[in-house]
Structure 1
């Protein structure tokens, strides 16, 4: 595994050499304290861009006896999985003596990710943690400079490959087991309402399809959705119109809640007519009506583990290795055997 500590960040002397000016001239351009000719300024800025130079916030912090920080880049901070992972990150970082600065990457556009990275690097950073749960997170991971120690928290896998240590939930296995559970209840097949993915397909979708294929069950068309209950409601309305639908695996619990509501509004009972399984074990999933069968994921533990990977990277003479976490299936009242899932028109 490549070690980011072996890549030295460019320093102000490197910028001066490439630009063909003195170190004080580079400092004047960056600080804006003393006027510099337009020609020299343009040369310095071109060298800064070519080298990927950013002011060293960590060095400034040491000079000022400041506390080092860990930057966290995330596409969202309000959804359950994101917020719980951030909780674990903050707890583990604080225990290790680090402060946390959180930067929201609002889209997957490269320039947006670069802006978020540039803003964070003004702080005294020891390293970076990226929540690679969505396309903005993947864009942020690509934008973090090679010289800054970085790790990723991911769902299913990491697009950073083995060059970036990551702690990840095995979403593929979780979806496989949930689908297999529904098939074991006697359902002919399982429909899937999928969340957006970082790559071509989400690991949850892959695990669902693998379980159906191995069982020789039909593989229905995937219904794409976002993460919200209203998106689940729209998908559930489509599924309710098909009497052949008896089992649904939702990409997350909020989708599942919307699906259950839509099915009920269309006269389809859960689980008597349709069994529904969610994903993540949202705090409200056990209080929903009926309580949701779901794939439980410990996001707080994921946050703690990913900070542990970063601390391993920062420690001299150590190598960080990726960590796989296995989810659990929690069976509640939203699923039942197929004998109780045959739809009868009212």
Structure 2
């Protein structure tokens, strides 16, 4: 597929906070989402962090964001379904989608929860060895969101009326479900389910050791198995840090951050052979040149650039402002009204 101008510009934040003052960190996240809307971003995404000092309840945060914004799309990248009950999650997603006016873009993934041996007794005390962490967990969620029956009963019982499907039902939500995948099998499965596909700065080095080449193969595998073919939605999520309006101190700190993380990008890591993309730091013109040369970026027209994890609120304001005013236009993007 020929490269086209960037159509949708989004950003992703982890939402870190201080244990002694969690409200301040959550308010910072909400303020960044509000800023993103004012700057014309098309989407804002939050990441989860269970039993850590980051957003543990992305749906609750996005419910709050839905009442502070009116246009920007709100996404999760991603909710690990090993921590969730698909039926209950479907209710929460539909509720927030209704409250947002149809702006929710839920991204999910599967697999056992991280550090499962340490958390399984608290999370699933009676069924830890029986839980199914396969794609079936996503399929159940998709079915509930798309309106499949959750029970064989519907009707009136006394003064109460019961539905056989999740309520509220938000008809468009099923088309805005995303799968966060790092390998060919996940890309293929997501395409077969008619989902959208989130590809990030981490992939599995299954058939090669060049990050862009691997990511490109995932995008093409996904679209080859999706009913919409080349029109199927893919969003790329690299770590991108423009420095156009940064102070000298900020530039030095950003470059040190990227340099510290660079060694892990040299070769696949661990038994799963996870390969990380280098963080992109520099002027918007420099970053745009690198992205235009990136084989996977050439195949997409949507991005959700990831903000670095450990920066300060003012740093994020500078980065988002440069993304919207400099980097986005350099990639052919126009801010939303």
TM-score interval, normalised by the smaller of the two chains:
under 0.3
TM-score, structure 1 as length reference:
0.23
* TM-score, normalised via structure 2 length: 0.24
